Structure 1
Amino acid sequence: MIIKEYRIILPISMEEYPIAHSYTTTAVIRQDLALGDDIEISKSEPVTNIRLPDGKRTSGHFVHKVYHLRRQVPKWAKVLAPKELLVLHEKTWNAFPYSRTEFSNPEFLKEKLSLRLDSICAPDRGTSENIHCLTPAELAQREIIYLDIAGEQIPRKEYKAECDPKIYRSTRTGRGPLVGDWQHSVSPVMCCYKLMTMDFKWLGLQDKVEKYAYEAERKVFCQFYRQMFCWIDQWYGLTQADVRAMEEDTCRQSCSRANRPQGLFGSKSAVLLPARAARLVPESKSLSLPLDPSTGF
């Protein structure tokens, strides 16, 4: 089993985060509608009794997605894996500032795969020592990873200057570029704490799969939050109604491409979305539509 806690400091406020997250989610989906694997959103509904890490209960939103993976898996997996293995179920419980996502493969792996992502946002600089309320045994296993959205190494083929926090400056807020010791001096500031817990029980493949999952999640987190910051002039000042309208328009586009019925908000109907776009989104607030998975990851 691996337990990794990513701490991602962001130069935005807790109040701004829900709009920033929803906008970035929808913008990424619009970018990638023609790319990636399909996702079936099989259920999206309000829920109560979500258990928080401290044991308290709250209400929020539940989304169940089924990923039909093809292009978003490594070559060795395509060669070795039966088609049933490339169907991934994702169940997400959203209750900002907390979200929990559980992944499973009931068609093939069943109990052999256990992957969970818990995300908590806090108005600090990554200084909360045990925000996920881990046990002493879990703390002993936990590895803390500070992810610097400006300092992370980006492969040349994936680098985009317009999404580089080291050179971007917001004209509307004056924030950026993020250079030097920015994580200790920037204001406003908040931190996303993302706890990844994984146990893959398959002799001979365990280490390879767990390593791939760790690397994939780190890449997803980095790319998404770099975009969130560098798109600040696009989402800054928007209202929930503005974002809602954008999400509805994007859902109509995706339904049209997939030849699926529209008007799915809050329903149990299914809609297909590109997996590459959807997997860039770690968590959501209840105001968001079922277009943004958690990576709560």
Structure 2
Amino acid sequence: DLRCWVSDKTGRGPLVDGWRNNTKPIMCSYKRVECSFEVYGFQGRTEDFIHKVEIQTLLPMTHLAYSNIRDILLVGHRQAVAWVDEWHGMSLEGVREFEKRLQQETNSKLKSEHFDSAAPLRPSFSRSISVTDESSLKKMGVNTLVIPDSSSCDSSSSLNKPMRMNSTSE
């Protein structure tokens, strides 16, 4: 929690409410994010959902559910600030070595946790995404359809007949 944090090396912190309004910027970080979701009918809404920019305060971190790229980047920036004593004063090459070492340590922890557990290894790359919870679907702008139980539908209902949606006859 950066509201309680103070850096030993730099003396920075804690970050109190309104800190962005009265602090001189030290640096500015730009991120370029591209996404491509080429599924007819979902492309625009899904890409908008991924790129969505919400107005929210940097502090406090009140949730861990990442709803978009901005939230994920904010967590990374918070961690970089909280760990400033570990990297402050390093050269660029030193920071790169530090990052490489941390990446190797993280990967070895993940590998050992996998082998210690009976859970199957999940693939590191997947070409599809499945979103089924109603709140995520609503955030993406997808309206859900309530289909009545088949016993309550009469046999002439169009729900009982096959339909072709967003596809070609091939």
Q: Output the TM-score relative to the length of structure 2.
A: 0.42
Using CA pairs below 8 Å that are at least 6 residues apart, which structure has the higher relative contact order?
Answer: 1
Tell me which protein shows more helix as a share of its residues.
2
Greater radius of gyration (CA) = 2
Name the TM-score, length of structure 1 as normaliser.
Answer: 0.27
